[in-house]
Amino acid sequence: MAVIRREENVPQAGDVLDGRYRLDSRLGAGGFGTVWQGRDLRMNRDVAVKTGVPDNVEDARRFVREAELAGSLAHPHIVTVHDFAHIDWEERELVYLVMELVRGESLADVLRRGLPGFHDSVGWAVRICSALEAAHSAGIVHRDIKPANVIIGAADTLKVLDFGIARRQLSRTDLTGNGIIGTALYMAPERFRGAVDARSDLYSLGCLLMEMWTGRLPFLGTSWQELYAQHIGAPPPRPSAFTPSLSATADQLVLDLLSKEAVGRPPHAAAVAQRLTSLAQGAEPTVPRPSTTPQPPSYTPTVLDEGAEPVRAALRRRLGQIVALPDDSDIGEFQELLGALIPEAQRELGPDDPLTTEAVLVRARRLWLRDPTDTALARTVPKLRRVFGEQDRRTIEARALLLGHQIQSEHADRTAVTAEMREVIKVAQNVLGPFDPVTLHARAELATGLCKGLSQDRFEDVKRRRAILERLLPDLVRGLPAEDSHRRDIHLTVADDAYLMQDYETAARYYDELAALGDSKDRGWPAKTFFAHARSLGESGEFERAAAMLAQLTNTLADEGNARSYLGSEARRLESRYRRRLRRQTHQPRGWFTRG
């Protein structure tokens, strides 16, 4: 996390940064540093400038990377980033960010005056969703959606601030010794544990909707520890408990957004926008609704009704604390805690109660992730279908996990398993959306299962595998985070297959994309993959890069004692070839004719 120190006197009004950006008046200050109204002297326009002093070099570098992400977003409801840099300033390193100057007031200021009209608040929320959808599609998670980061301008325009910056910055407003109160009021449960995705922003949006519609937040802890406990384990109230005019549909939307588990929330911001638009039109949203015969709720039942049983609330809190345990925590402790909770839930609530079923699923899923041959998850699926229904996310995900493992097995009835997986994918696409992680992981498992048994040596097999996986890759890139193993595995396989088919230009592009994500370093590419990347570059005309990579590979193989291996010989041969081609390309003389 980049930490930027705020300096009250550096820089000052009237100073000019990089001979271009004049700081005119101080607008405010926050965890990042000082915010100025300024003037771009080159473009002759007013701008907003944020300045700060990084604690160390790595913080400055991280700031630049984040600013590059923010600058890549062009959207009518996202504040435009014009420029950024880190410079020397009075013997210190200073970072600054130049943005469009939005004239208006923050949503926090609006809410301090009282509740906005319902249709105004829905319209603002739809525009926030539009901004989030654009950012999430670009792989950027905001991480700090709150009223202070939303500006309402003239003619009811709306802009969301701090994309790409908030993803690593935590506001120091209301800072205590143990955390951040101002931001923690809106933080998703998983934020406290560190793992986030786009649905974490949707949880924050749920808090924001609650505040706009009721004048209060779902949780009102006054310390970091209290807020942590509430977000992790306490059920949120229904908005209509404070604003009775709100419909059950409005309640349902907020409660879905505030699901403790990310998988229980709407799949993406566009789905939230659609439901909000239906609300504004007075129509029912296109989400599963109860029939005349009551069905189990489609969301994790964490609603604090006025007459909620204290036993259920206590069990929910305990389950939330167990779920919050890190994945690498002691499995014995995990089993012991659930072993005590599940019988109690069965006794107090019944074996088919949603909370009991959820606890059984939590245990079965953790056991399956540790050992896919464990049968607990398979035994739990019929209960999930009965209690939650076929179209519940938990049912869909559990079935997809099991089928994904079976489809890779040599002993499975491949035809039957493939047909069932296609059925699950169809349900997932209809209910969760085509770019939901559950949908995409199921599609990835099906695709790799269909490729099982295809040879690396037969051209027709390589061609078929590439065709299957390459069609899927753009969707994986759009819907899954860069570090997702399904996405990276398929990306690398497609690159390898393009190389084997001697489609070097395409292979080089795919390898470059993976290298830019850090895949070669994160997972330690084998020498043959590094060689394939270098050769693909060389055969595509990038002789200098290819020769440099091959020289590096040769040195690595020599250090490992493999200099005389076939790969080492090929690396030296191709390096020599590409250096000759580079000389011809740049009209350089041969080395032994060059005078010293």
Q: Is 60 helix (H, G, I), strand (E, B) or coil?
A: helix
Catalytic annotation, pick one of 59, 83, 144, 256: 144
The larger pLDDT score, comparing residue 281 to residue 292, is at: 281
* 144 among known catalytic residues: yes
The larger pLDDT score, comparing residue 144 to residue 563, is at: 144
Judged against a pLDDT cut of 60, whether residue 294 lies above it is answered with no
C-alpha–C-alpha distance, residues 501 and 503, integer Å: 5
Give the pair of three-digit tokens for residue 383.
């209960």
Q: What percent of the chain has pLDDT over 90?
A: 41
Model confidence at 591, in pLDDT bands (50, 70, 90)? low
C-alpha–C-alpha distance, residues 450 and 534, integer Å: 30
| Domain boundaries, given as residue ranges, for the chain | 4-101, 102-284, 526-596
- pLDDT at residue number 387: 87
Judged against a pLDDT cut of 80, whether residue 255 lies above it is answered with yes
- For the segment 40-62, the average pLDDT, to the nearest whole number, is 82
Fold of the CATH domain 102-284: Transferase(Phosphotransferase); domain 1 (1.10.510)
Q: What are the tens digits of pLDDT across the range 116-135?
A: 989 999 999 999 999 999 98
Asked if 450 and 418 count as a contact pair (C-beta separation under 8 A), the reply is: yes
Q: 4-101: which CATH number, 3.30.200.20, 2.40.128.50, 1.10.287.70, 3.40.1280.10?
A: 3.30.200.20
Q: What are the tens digits of pLDDT across the range 426-479?
A: 988 887 778 878 899 999 999 999 998 888 889 999 999 999 999 999 999 888
Judged against a pLDDT cut of 90, whether residue 526 lies above it is answered with no
Burial zone of 527 (CB within 10 Å; 0-12 exposed, 13-18 middle, 19+ buried) = middle
Q: What are the tens digits of pLDDT across the range 359-401?
A: 999 999 888 988 888 899 999 999 999 888 888 888 999 999 9
Q: What is the DSSP string of 261-329?
A: SGGGS-SSHHHHHHHHHHHHTT---SS----SS----SS----B-TT--HHHHHHHHHHHHHHTS-TTS
Q: Is 2 helix (H, G, I), strand (E, B) or coil?
A: coil
Judged against a pLDDT cut of 90, whether residue 408 lies above it is answered with no
- pLDDT at residue number 32: 58
